[in-house]
Amino acid sequence: MRKSKNFWKTIGIPDKIIAIDASTNSMAFSIFENGKLVKYGKIKFTGYDAYHKAGDACKKCIPFFKAFGADAVVIESAIYANSAKTAMHLALVQGAILGSAQFCGIKRILSTSPVQWQNWIGNKRLNAEEKEYIRSLNPDKTPSWYKSQERLFRKQRTMKIINQKFKIKVDDDDVGDAVALGWFVQSNWNKLAGEPKNS
């Protein structure tokens, strides 16, 4: 029977949440327990194509979820950016990760968009001055190069924000994103909680 959206909202904030920032090559994660950051890190996937990387993700994530467990998993939504192929490959890996979580008994799965958590932590899109600064340091580059640098700039800013907030020393930008995502989720669970979907 299909559960209403209100059903999920009445359960309350989970005691233990795993937040995931996945790519085609890795799963960065943070674990929040009773509102506190208790663990963070990254699992790398190997394989000569997206299908084998998805298989490797399943092999590695099952023992991870068995070891750490959680009441809920929240994953950053797969979005279409510049490449449909990349988006499809990411969806394969995300499916393997979330399938592993459910196999290990984690039933509550939510997603959130990158823009949602980035805005909440105070890392909004670059303004005109910031974009111009990047261009002034690197003239005559392609539009895609500037786009990539803007993305890197924001990732570096996320790491600075979470390192200051949690008094940690994260130097991997994917892990930084996972910690920020977990912080956002832990603080906004009731806004996010709805019927699980990837939107």
Structural domains of the chain in order of their starting residue, each with its CATH number: 5-122+171-192 (3.30.420.10)
Are 104 and 67 spatial neighbours (Cβ–Cβ below 8 Å)? no
- Pairing type for strands 108-112 and 16-22 reads unpaired
What local confidence, expressed as pLDDT, does residue 196 receive? 47
What mean pLDDT is predicted for residues 1-20? 69
> What is the band of 10 on the pLDDT scale with cuts at 50, 70, 90?
very low
What local confidence, expressed as pLDDT, does residue 89 receive? 86
What local confidence, expressed as pLDDT, does residue 11 receive? 53
Residue 31 clears pLDDT 50, i.e. is over it: yes
What mean pLDDT is predicted for residues 49-54? 93
Starting at the edge strand found earlier in the chain, the sheet holding 16-22 runs: 36-44, 26-33, 16-22, 72-76, 108-112
Give burial (CB, 10 Å; 0-12/13-18/19+) of 143: exposed
The rounded Cα 57 to chain-centroid distance in angstroms is 15
What local confidence, expressed as pLDDT, does residue 133 receive? 77
Task: Determine if residue 24 is left, alpha or beta; phi over 0 gives left, psi from -120 to 50 gives alpha, anything else beta.
Answer: alpha
Half-sphere exposure of 127 (CA within 13 A, CB side): 3
- Pairing type for strands 16-22 and 26-33 reads antiparallel
- Terminal Cα distance for the chain, rounded: 22
Question: Residues 133-149: pLDDT tens digits?
Answer: 788 877 877 877 777 77
What mean pLDDT is predicted for residues 55-83? 89
Residue 40 clears pLDDT 80, i.e. is over it: yes
CA dist 122 and 184 (Å) reads 11
Question: Residues 90-103: pLDDT tens digits?
Answer: 889 999 999 999 99
Q: What percent of the chain has pLDDT over 70?
A: 89
Q: How many helices (H) and strands (E) in the chain?
A: 8, 5
What local confidence, expressed as pLDDT, does residue 8 receive? 47
Mean pLDDT, the chain, integer: 86
Residue 75 clears pLDDT 80, i.e. is over it: yes
CA dist 66 and 12 (Å) reads 23
